């Protein structure tokens, strides 16, 4: 790792009972063409062998690169990410989930574009669902540029999954620790509705190793996910970032999308 150029990015991975997948996630960070200067692993009081796995990875990659934070109680991914964010030292923060992984050029492409566009505070990119192992293909220059995302586009549909996000550390908004579902979507909307510029790359630079809907874990319960999304719009309404008319339209649209997802999920069974 010492021969690879380190760049001004801190990576935050919330970890909860992920001893079977965390090595793959960490390896995908260590194999970046531009190595982040800091990797923060936040154990969300897993209570199993996860913390031992994190310490093994720290011994492999060095405690000067891997920082472990242990939460005293299980708080959820939002607070785990906030804890990592608070400990970050670099200009940019990138988030990865413990059961996902990255394309080797993700940091290089995303960080380079954001350096050239200092008015953009957050970027994301496309992602793809893959099996347990992925063989990444190199992406040739010139890289496809990020495309601006408007508030209306993001309100209609969440165009960012958390493992695709890179943002500037000085952003004052944080994940809502009271939410266990939709906390990421709420943060993206708070950022863009506060008149900040965000953008999205068209390339698949993250690999999701589980089905987006209908799989195990938090994404497995479609109804609770739906309630989480409605709560996002409700919170935006209560803070004045969303008007009543917009809330009503989004409420109807959200429930229509939910019905479609349920139908697709049942057809796939």
Q: pLDDT, tens digit, for every residue of 171-204?
A: 999 999 999 889 999 999 999 999 999 999 999 9
* Residue matched to tokens 């004045």: 240
Q: pLDDT, tens digit, for every residue of 90-136?
A: 999 999 999 999 999 999 999 999 999 999 999 999 999 988 778 88
- Of 88, 107, 143, nearest to 6 by C-alpha is 107
Give, in degrees to the nearest 5, the angle at Cα 190 between 240 and 194. 75
What number of other Cβ atoms are within 10 A of residue 44's Cβ?
Answer: 24
Length of the chain (residues): 269
Task: Output the pTM of the full model.
Answer: 0.92
């Amino acid at each position: 790792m010492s021969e690879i150029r380190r760049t001004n990015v801190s990576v935050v991975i919330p970890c909860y009972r992920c001893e079977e997948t965390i090595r793959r996630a960490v390896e995908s960070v260590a194999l970046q063409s531009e190595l982040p200067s800091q990797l923060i692993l936040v154990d969300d009081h897993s209570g199993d062998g996860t913390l031992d796995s994190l310490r093994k990875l720290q011994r492999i990659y060095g405690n000067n690169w891997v920082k472990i934070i242990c939460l005293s109680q299980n708080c959820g991914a939002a607070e785990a990410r906030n804890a990592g964010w608070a400990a970050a030292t670099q200009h940019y923060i990138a988030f990865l989930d413990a059961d996902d992984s990255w394309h080797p050029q993700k940091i290089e492409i995303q960080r380079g574009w954001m350096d050239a566009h200092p008015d953009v505070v957050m970027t994301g990119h496309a992602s793809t669902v893959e099996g347990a192992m992925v063989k990444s293909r190199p992406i040739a220059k010139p890289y496809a540029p990020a495309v601006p995302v408007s508030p209306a586009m993001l309100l209609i549909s969440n165009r960012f999954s958390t493992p695709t996000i890179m943002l500037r550390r000085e952003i004052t908004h944080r994940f809502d620790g009271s939410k266990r579902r939709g906390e990421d979507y709420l943060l993206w909307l708070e950022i863009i509705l506060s008149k900040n510029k965000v953008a999205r790359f068209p390339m698949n630079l993250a690999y999701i190793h589980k089905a987006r809907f209908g799989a195990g874990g938090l994404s497995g319960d479609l109804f609770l996910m739906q309630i989480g999304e409605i709560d996002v719009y409700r919170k935006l309404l209560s803070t004045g970032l969303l008007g009543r008319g917009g809330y009503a339209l989004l409420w109807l649209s959200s429930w229509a999308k939910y019905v479609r997802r349920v139908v697709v999920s049942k057809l796939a069974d």
